[in-house]
Amino acid sequence: MSLYEDVFKNNAKWVEEKKASDADFFEHLSKGQNPDILYIGCSDSRVTAEDMTGVEPGQMFVHRNVANLVPNNDSSSASVIEYAVAHLKVKHVVVCGHYFCGGVKAAMEAADLGILNPWLRNIRDVYRIHRDELNAISDEGEKYNRLVELNVEEQCVNVIKTAVVQNAYTSTGYPLVHGWVFDVQSGKLIDLNINFEEKLKDIQEIYDLGTGK
Ligand code: CO
């Protein structure tokens, strides 16, 4: 039996399990979603958003791409943020990176990766912003891990730059923006404890959209 065929068998089993604990489970799901969290993470197959956080269907809105990026002119992630914040009214927006991220590693290498070049250039930009700190780290593994963390932080900044987040936060106090890193080697989620209020104040010096007036 191939993995592909297993998927449908697994699905049938999952449907039975869900119905066994709640006969109306799918009937309830069909009524709509009310997620509290928007999760923006990497497409990496080892970083399973729902599995590692234990959320149930309907509880977390998910967007995944290579290296968990929120580029300023990317309409895909921007549409996800707009919909999640303005319409679903999520209370938390999470950018989750992970150690051993192939996207981050590729961005550190001198290689032409075709269409991936402009995408991964966003990570090189993160490196340039934090060049002094990163160049001071001599251990390559440590430097790579730190770039993963700084990339998460910069993508959080990109989330906070958006009008929809600034508007919603000014009028409701939500969403709060968080940065996480998943450690593939231990399975643990690490909260980078980004000070959202401070970050918002700091970046509004330049990216203020007049939402507080
Ligand atoms: Co990755």
3-state SS of 41-53?
EECCCCCCHHHHH
CA distances (Å), origin 72, targets 18, 24, 137, 140, 169: 40, 41, 28, 29, 19
Q: Is 206 part of any domain? A: no
**CATH number where 137 lies:** 3.40.1050.10
* Bond into 35 cis (ω within 30): no
- Could you tell me the residue range of the domain that residue 65 belongs to? 32-197
Taking the centre of ligand 1 as the mean of its atom positions, its distance from the CA of residue 62, in whole angstroms, is 15
pLDDT at position 107 is 87
> Mean per-residue pLDDT for 60-65?
98
Tell me how far apart the alpha carbons of residues 179 and 135 are, in angstroms, rounded to a whole number.
23
Dihedral of the CA atoms 179, 125, 157, 182 (nearest 10)?
Answer: -10
Per DSSP, the chain holds a count of helices (H) and strands (E) of 10, 5
CA distances (Å), origin 9, targets 22, 57, 69, 93: 20, 19, 34, 34
50 token code pair = 């729902």
pTM of the complete model:
0.95
90 near 176, Cβ under 8 Å? no
Instruction: Give the full edge-to-edge strand order of the sheet including 188-191.
Output: 60-65, 37-42, 92-98, 176-183, 188-191
Q: Is 210 part of any domain? A: no
**Does one domain contain both 62 and 131?**
yes
pLDDT at position 208 is 87
Q: Is 26 part of any domain? A: yes
Taking the centre of ligand 1 as the mean of its atom positions, its distance from the CA of residue 189, in whole angstroms, is 14
**Does one domain contain both 14 and 36?**
no
Taking the centre of ligand 1 as the mean of its atom positions, its distance from the CA of residue 6, in whole angstroms, is 25
**Does one domain contain both 26 and 102?**
no
**Does one domain contain both 148 and 76?**
yes
What is the number of structural domains in the chain? 2
**Does one domain contain both 71 and 92?**
yes
pLDDT at position 213 is 54
114 token code pair = 């075709």
**Does one domain contain both 139 and 74?**
yes
Model confidence band, residue 210 (pLDDT cutoffs 50, 70, 90):
confident
Catalytic residues: 42, 44, 46, 98, 101
**Does one domain contain both 23 and 49?**
no
Taking the centre of ligand 1 as the mean of its atom positions, its distance from the CA of residue 141, in whole angstroms, is 15
pLDDT over 90 percentage in the chain: 90
Question: Looking at the DSSP assignment, which residues form a beta bridge with residue 190?
Answer: 181
For residue 80, the Cα-to-chain-centroid distance in whole angstroms is: 11
**Is the predicted pLDDT of residue 116 greater than 70, yes or no?**
yes
